[in-house]
Amino acid sequence: DAKTTQPTSMDCAEGRAANLPCNHSTISGNEYVYWYRQIHSQGPQYIIHGLKNNETNEMASLIITEDRKSSTLILPHATLRDTAVYYCIVREYNDMRFGAGTRLTVKP
């Protein structure tokens, strides 16, 4: 079973920041937080991951709370092509369990 809880769906206006929350209250010290997304009919695509510190790459930023029990994925300027299902995953080694994810719809 997935160790994360995410909202089922969210909307975001094009050009605005999309903030996707994730709860992982049972995360252990060795487990990383990963984010993937899946655009319709495609394979999941890696976005970002982190252990304790906040992370940023060309796609997104990941904010992890100090107690590591929750995190937020930020897409700074959402575009229509960011419409997808976003999965938050707690991972230790190769045990990567996908939950239901958040369906993000970016609207013009």
Q: Point out which residues bind other proteins (CB under 8 A).
A: 32, 34, 41-46, 49, 87, 91, 93-100
Query: Which CB atom, from 58 or from 93, has the smaller least distance to other proteins?
Result: 93
CB 61 to other proteins: min, Å: 16
Residues listed for the chain: 108
Return d(Cα 28, Cα 17) in angstroms, integer.
29
CB 14 to other proteins: min, Å: 26
In the numeric block, which tokens belong to residue 11? 């909307």
CB 10 to other proteins: min, Å: 18
Q: Which residues contact 65 (CB under 8 A, 6 or more apart)?
A: 71
